[in-house]
Amino acid sequence: MKINNAFLCCVFLLSLNSIAHAKTCNINENSLKGAWLAANKHAPFEQVGFGVEGAQKVFNSWLHDRPEIANGTWSLKHCKLRISHPTEPKLTYNFTVRLNRGKLELKEKDYPVGKFRRFKG
């Protein structure tokens, strides 16, 4: 059986892509849950909280210690985080998310990476 070199090259590149994705996608719903504080100027929110109430995944954010988004929703799938405002459908955020040295990183298309540190209060 003869194997085409182009085929082997494609298999190799796909394997490298899978390995790279596995290394960068290191977050799951349990590691996301809880409260986080902005850790750089690019963070899209000052304070955020990811929780679960029954079957509902609840997102809250605060600006200057006052509610900004209350009772929004969130979902996480394959390192893609979607946050939806509870009453304004146009206010939906889509981020690529990962943990890097204990910091939560949110990357929105065309914006720098926003970083958060876990709130320990």
Q: Report whether 61 contacts 45 (CB < 8 A).
A: yes
| 86 vs 91: CA distance, rounded Å | 9
| Domains of the chain in sequence order | 28-118 (2.40.128.280)
Q: Is 45 helix (H, G, I), strand (E, B) or coil?
A: coil
Tens digit of each residue's pLDDT (9 = 90 or more) over 6-42? 544 444 444 444 334 445 689 999 999 999 999 999 9
* DSSP annotation string for 55-72: TEEEEEEEETTEEEEEEE
Residue 49: predicted pLDDT: 98
pLDDT tier at 3, thresholds 50, 70, 90: low
Residue reference for tokens 């990357």: 107
Other C-beta atoms closer than 10 Å to the C-beta of 5 total 7
